[in-house]
Amino acid sequence: MKAIIVRPPNPGAQITDVDEKELDNYGKVKIRILYNGICGTDREIVNGKLTIANLSNRKNYLVLGHEAIGIVEEPCCGFSKGELVMPVNRRGCGKCLNCLIGRPDFCETGEFVEAGIHGIDGFMREYWYDNPKYLVRIPRELEDIGILAQPLADIEKSVEEILNIQKRVPVWTCDDGTLNCRKVLVVGTGPTGILFALLFRTYGLEVWMANRREPSETEQTVLEEAKINYFNSRNGYDRLKEKFDVIIDATGADAELLNAILPLLNRNGVLGIFGFPVSGTFSIDFKSVQDMVHTSKLIVGLVNGQKPHFQQAVVHLASWKTMYPKTSKLLITKTVSINDEKEVLKALGEKEPGEIKIRIYWD
Amino acid sequence: MKAIIVRPPNPGAQITDVDEKELDNYGKVKIRILYNGICGTDREIVNGKLTIANLSNRKNYLVLGHEAIGIVEEPCCGFSKGELVMPVNRRGCGKCLNCLIGRPDFCETGEFVEAGIHGIDGFMREYWYDNPKYLVRIPRELEDIGILAQPLADIEKSVEEILNIQKRVPVWTCDDGTLNCRKVLVVGTGPTGILFALLFRTYGLEVWMANRREPSETEQTVLEEAKINYFNSRNGYDRLKEKFDVIIDATGADAELLNAILPLLNRNGVLGIFGFPVSGTFSIDFKSVQDMVHTSKLIVGLVNGQKPHFQQAVVHLASWKTMYPKTSKLLITKTVSINDEKEVLKALGEKEPGEIKIRIYWD
Amino acid sequence: MKAIIVRPPNPGAQITDVDEKELDNYGKVKIRILYNGICGTDREIVNGKLTIANLSNRKNYLVLGHEAIGIVEEPCCGFSKGELVMPVNRRGCGKCLNCLIGRPDFCETGEFVEAGIHGIDGFMREYWYDNPKYLVRIPRELEDIGILAQPLADIEKSVEEILNIQKRVPVWTCDDGTLNCRKVLVVGTGPTGILFALLFRTYGLEVWMANRREPSETEQTVLEEAKINYFNSRNGYDRLKEKFDVIIDATGADAELLNAILPLLNRNGVLGIFGFPVSGTFSIDFKSVQDMVHTSKLIVGLVNGQKPHFQQAVVHLASWKTMYPKTSKLLITKTVSINDEKEVLKALGEKEPGEIKIRIYWD
Amino acid sequence: MKAIIVRPPNPGAQITDVDEKELDNYGKVKIRILYNGICGTDREIVNGKLTIANLSNRKNYLVLGHEAIGIVEEPCCGFSKGELVMPVNRRGCGKCLNCLIGRPDFCETGEFVEAGIHGIDGFMREYWYDNPKYLVRIPRELEDIGILAQPLADIEKSVEEILNIQKRVPVWTCDDGTLNCRKVLVVGTGPTGILFALLFRTYGLEVWMANRREPSETEQTVLEEAKINYFNSRNGYDRLKEKFDVIIDATGADAELLNAILPLLNRNGVLGIFGFPVSGTFSIDFKSVQDMVHTSKLIVGLVNGQKPHFQQAVVHLASWKTMYPKTSKLLITKTVSINDEKEVLKALGEKEPGEIKIRIYWD
């Protein structure tokens, strides 16, 4: 069958025919691919930069792709023919308690696998067989933006984790019982930043986004429709006179950014790190450490959503189509056909300016 | 101004002109009414049957109405002119800790008031002034079904409470981390039952509804679209061979119904009572009590949503427009004009066959 | 070896020599018995009244005993020779998620076993081999009252579950952050009632106990030392003018008792049923059901503590030796030698007047 | 009356007569002082080094002392004459929701006061009047070590907060339902380190302590009795081949220590900072930040216990007298009489070698 394959740690991607007997499968539900999403992780693999990427056990290549929507091809195991489904990409180690209860996002052994990234084949291929346990239903009416449920799941999990963490504070809700008085700063206006901002708005919080430039036209639409504030951080964060209950680093830039934003954190606040910084050092001088202690501040690394978060993501995407209709229409930047090999490989190679999400359509 | 007034405990309702200076107001945001929803509680007041209904302090009538969407008439206090808002109807006692933190659903004194029901005027009037603390934004795109956010808020709170209660069980999620393996039985197919069923589906649970007849055409549409199972309980519950992790009594019928459904509860299960039975006795013989102890069963009364639940209701209604488009269109049974006095009074007097929600439009 | 055996469902108990090769063992740690506690469940088995009691799989008798302290006989698996240990008696089904994570108190299949009660041999025998997973360390200084860690574990779990359940209430703590303002009524002054009362006092709550007579001298000592209030319920509960946030039925008497105490429950309150009523019916008329709904009341069955609760029980017993020294000395009513066969069999047959705990000493 | 006073920011302490009319009082319960504890914070004030220390509003000196046990002098407000009580030292801002519900440890305004430190007079004086809300009962049998309830309260709160935070992990308990498989490293063997270690042991965790030398004889006794492991970190932490689920910095030394211990943190682990480092910088290079993200690591500042934590501390101290009798006897290093002015001022000036807790006795 046709598939997009990679050979990590070597750079490069190929659209080619592969022997389906060589490929990993995970269950009995036959799924024909409909869409794949492309994200930064795919590009790091294609560019040979993702050190954790590796082959699946049985051959010298890996099928790429961890964002996918497919169509159930034969009725099986509770699924009807024609239903749209999305596979959960990280799958447990089979050993630790968190994996046993379906939560490999908190795997304790590190021996989980991730389809299309390390250990098992991904979903950029004509079809695969999967286990119902790993399949999330996508409503037909969400076909247009449903591919975002995978990246949004990571963010659902992150926000859920922060809300869970803040139960350490006896009352973190406001005097009307909501979270409306809580302020969030999301640093970075890429797809991750936008999804974080929309999700925190959906939970009722006041949201600020920041980047080192004025917002693009697309970003401006999102900011206006979802009532998100914006700060241009080109000249540093000193002029930002707000304090935030939650700050999210969604940049994956230099770790020194963290030095600049930590002082903006409110008492009892949480600094969540979602991106992977690629240079620099996060330095907290002893006075700032004292301040963290005196005012109960907290720093946490945020990673990976699981099936419950995919399902939440579906609900939230569905709600955004109603609540943020203009924004919803901007979330898919482009759809390229799998038959347009050149465009597909280009999209896999590098991010387009202003891109939120590019998807591949298997027509 | 024009208003719909009642004089509990006396039956009857009047559409009449009232002196606006006599009416209760709650803040600075001027809100012009757009829609009122009518629910069973309104009808109980109009029919002189709701014993808790009483006047507000200052006059010999009460403005009816606790379900409302209005339009902000002047910019104020963070609200723009033209925004749609819904008032939260129950307001705290000002004394207990739960009311102080905006959660009079768990008021400890019982001295809270409820607009249009007891203590303060409701919202079936041309305009009122309110406090931002009690106002929930309704997106323009939700104008069509937004009035349901008030009744749905009670159900959001109920489901949230059940999920909180079940944290007593070390792992209540399934082996995929979701709640998909958990089964709910919702008894009663009125508006409350339907909203419960849709909400549990949104949380991923398997849902059964039951009533003592075959489902109506409207109900059939909901069942099919949202993949809800149905049981005709005319001949009792013995033939229902399922066990349920959650059972909701949404009937408000005879308390003896509870005798019939308690045996359907699974180990560690929750029986939630939402309706108010009007006759009969819930009898649990000693063997059933023993069984409750041996298998950690739980019975809980469920009541009243607050502002966080209204906001959740808005998100869920917005998602249902995408996920359950046919169902969404059926949720508002009819809109009657305030100018059609006869129709309004008829709607306030009794429920229509098959009605889900009737709303009054102030044109 | 010498053992106390039963043949459920037949009544009767025997102290006899058994072939150790026939007995169930659970691991590698060899444990020589030191003390067994006797409780109501043992007596129900001996009297042929416990319907759930059954043999272990391999022979026509069952070694009795689920309360035990033993001495590790050989160093093994992290235990030193001479350490005192208590076995956890209920052991999981090996199938459901709660059992997989060590919490068969919430087993979902009901296929757990209980040593000395159903499925596997108990601990009234010279020695057995066990798995460290099921062993709880007992400090030497707690040898005197440590046997109570088993029955107290059930109560630790019950109180923990109630505290978990009450997280449904946004603020259930008092205005000083404690639970000191919360009132508990414990009905029944047997060992269970006393342990419940002491534990709630340890958590800071105000506690009332009730029984249908004046307190005994022993009870009076406990009440005074631990500052527990008392109500003589001989003439009914009408004269008890308090309302309670938690009511515990620890009687195992007639289910009609529950009718009498439900009206004493405060808003947002919990009625916990710990005992197993042996007759009667718990009847809640529709007005009381309405009240449960209006005021968020909750009824829950409470059962079985697991290893974390045994460990908590050890800490609390240790604290009581300091905080309630007189009470601590009264908790063990009598110690009978295994060599005094007549006394042992008598103690296994029926409860002594005023007994809190009788233990068997294997000297 | 006699009192120990300070004049921050100036160094120095005086035992002198003060006009009782000048002193702050907080309620109606008259309390005669019995013991004061001396801690590092007192010494920082006396040495003029605590920048947050300031006078109470009304005069040019401050009564020192935030660790105290007193005797109720007249029956009042639910307290009997002769009861031992300990005052809670931090008192709320009266504005934020956390202070309103008795939890100024999470005060959101920072406008709380702390008796004997900033804003209001402390308890090193013959008597004061207090509000029952701020008083914790100390059992007579705990008179010997009860003064430790104040410092232990901070640690109770810290451990509670960590356990709350770890509810972010779906299953953080072990396969026997306990926390016995979780490993803690406590860095620093001062009083704080010892109390942390004992408390984590009480919760069942495996504990390691570390310091840059061999343990003292006193420390050795604690380590052996409570089964705590020890690591001499003089030559760095590289040779420590364990990974830890929780690491506590209880040193208040140089922030660079944090660089050395962060790599010892397990997946999903928590680094809790309790001490206040006085120099250096905590530097986390980008690879370590990536690791924090990939493996969900978390860093949190820990501070201040409130009344529920004082009450827990009382229970735990009471339990330690039974469980760790040798250790309990070592916890109070010395008792000095208030009449021995020279000794008192010496004790206020500097820590003794090997000191755990020195208390002043008002005889």
**CB-based contact (8 Å) between D181 and chain A?**
no
Tell me, what's the pLDDT at B186? 98
Partner chains of A (3+ C-beta pairs under 8 Å): B, C, D
Contact B290 C300 (CB under 8 A): no
Whether the predicted pLDDT of C57 surpasses 80: no
Contact criterion met (CB < 8 Å) for A97 and D175: yes
Query: What is the rounded (10 degree) CA torsion for C20, C26, C27, C29?
Result: -70
* Chain D residue with the nearest C-alpha to that of B172: D170
Work out the minimum CA distance from A329 to partner chain B, whole angstroms.
14
> CA of D101 to nearest chain B CA: how many angstroms apart?
7
User: What is the average per-residue pLDDT within C202-217?
Assistant: 97
| Mean pLDDT of the region C47-69 | 91
Choose from B98, B101, B108, B168 for mutation: most chain D CBs within 10 A: B101
Choosing among B167, B299, B306, B307, which should be mutated to test the C contact, i.e. which has the most C CBs within 10 A? Answer: B299
- Across B108-122, C132-146, D49-63, least confident range: D49-63
What is the Cα–Cα distance from C16 to D140, expressed in whole angstroms?
48
Residue in chain D nearest B178 by alpha carbon: D170
Q: Which residues contact C274 (CB under 8 A, 6 or more apart)?
A: B293, C154, C155, C158, C192, C196, C248, C249, C250, C302, C303
Q: Which position has the token pair 């509990």?
A: B8
State yes or no: pLDDT of A49 exceeds 80. Answer: yes
Task: Look at residue A158 in the predicted model and tell me its pLDDT.
Answer: 98
Give me the torsion for CA of C87, C91, C97, C98, rounded to 10°.
-60
B 289-328 near C (Cβ less than 8 A): 289-303
Q: Phi-psi region for residue D178, left (φ > 0), alpha (ψ -120 to 50) or beta? A: beta
Residue of C nearest to D102 (CA): C176
Distances (CA, A) of B27 to A218, A315, B79, B133, C223: 37, 34, 13, 9, 52
What is the structure's pLDDT at D58?
Answer: 75
- Position D234 scores a pLDDT of 96
Q: In this predicted model, what pLDDT tens digit does every residue of C294-346 receive, in sequence order?
A: 999 999 999 999 999 999 999 999 999 999 999 999 999 999 999 999 999 99
Q: Which of C274, C109, C105 is CA-nearest to residue C193? A: C274
Q: Which of C276, C281, C292 lies nearest to residue B284, judging by beta carbons?
A: C281
ipTM: 0.98
Q: Is B174 on the interface with D (CB under 8 A)?
A: no
Q: How far is A104 from chain B (nearest CA, A)?
A: 9
Q: How many CB pairs under 8 A join C and D?
A: 105
Indicate if the pLDDT at residue C55 is higher than 90: no
Looking at every residue in chain A, the average pLDDT score rounds to 97
pLDDT at residue B54, as a whole number: 87
Q: How many other β-carbons are positioned within 10 Å of the β-carbon of residue A346?
A: 13
Kindly report the nearest CA distance between residue D160 and chain A, in angstroms.
Answer: 8
Q: Which residue of C has its CA nearest to B100?
A: C171
Query: What integer pLDDT is reported at residue B56 of this predicted model?
Result: 78
Q: Check CB contact under 8 Å for A308 and B173.
A: yes
Which of C178, C202, C323 is nearest residue D308 as measured by Cβ atoms?
C178
- The answer to whether A298 contacts D165, with C-beta atoms less than 8 Å apart, is yes
At B244 the pLDDT is: 98
Mean pLDDT along residues A185-212? 97
CA distance A135 to chain B (A): 10
- Taking alpha carbons only, the member of B25, B13, B18 closest to residue B3 is B18
CA of D326: which chain C residue's CA is closest?
C141
The reported pLDDT for the residue numbered C252 is: 87
The reported pLDDT for the residue numbered C54 is 87
Å between B46 CA and nearest CA of chain D: 39
Pick the residue from chain A with its C-alpha nearest to C173.
A170
Q: Is D170 on the interface with B (CB under 8 A)?
A: yes
Contacts of D110 in chain A (CB under 8 A): 267, 295
Q: What is the pLDDT of residues B205-221, one digit of tens each?
A: 999 999 999 999 999 99
Whether residue D274 and residue A293 make contact (CB cut-off 8 A), yes or no, is yes
pLDDT tens by residue, A156-194: 999 999 999 999 999 999 999 999 999 999 999 999 999
Q: Say whether pTM exceeds 0.90.
A: yes
The whole-angstrom separation of Cα C97 and Cα C275 is 27
Residue contact D281–A285, C-beta within 8 A: yes
Query: Inter-chain contact A167–D171, Cβ cutoff 8 Å?
Result: no
- What pLDDT is recorded for position B235? 95
In the prediction, which pLDDT does B252 show? 87
Q: Which residues pair with D4 in a beta bridge?
A: D15
> What pLDDT does residue D302 have?
98
User: pLDDT tens digits for B242-267?
Assistant: 999 999 999 988 999 999 999 999 99
pLDDT at A142: 98
What's the average pLDDT block by block, 10 residues per block, for chain D (363 residues)? Answer: 96 96 96 97 95 83 97 96 98 98 98 96 98 98 98 98 98 98 97 98 98 96 98 95 97 94 98 95 97 98 98 98 98 98 97 95 96
Rounded to the nearest angstrom, the minimum Cα separation between A293 and chain B is 26
Using pLDDT thresholds of 50, 70 and 90, give the confidence band for residue B53.
Answer: confident
Question: What helix, strand, coil percent values describe chain C, rounded to 5?
Answer: 30, 30, 40
| pLDDT recorded at residue B28 | 97
Q: How far is D171 from chain B (nearest CA, A)?
A: 8
Determine the pLDDT at residue A78: 94
Q: Which of residues 69-88 of A touch B (CB under 8 A)?
A: none
Give the distance, in angstroms, between the CA of residue A343 and the centroid of all CA atoms in the same chain: 23
Check CB contact under 8 Å for A299 and D296: no
**Chains contacting D (3 or more CB pairs within 8 Å):** A, B, C
**Measured between CB atoms, does B220 come within 8 Å of chain C?**
no
Mean per-residue pLDDT over chain C, rounded:
97
Residue with the two structure tokens 């600094």: A271
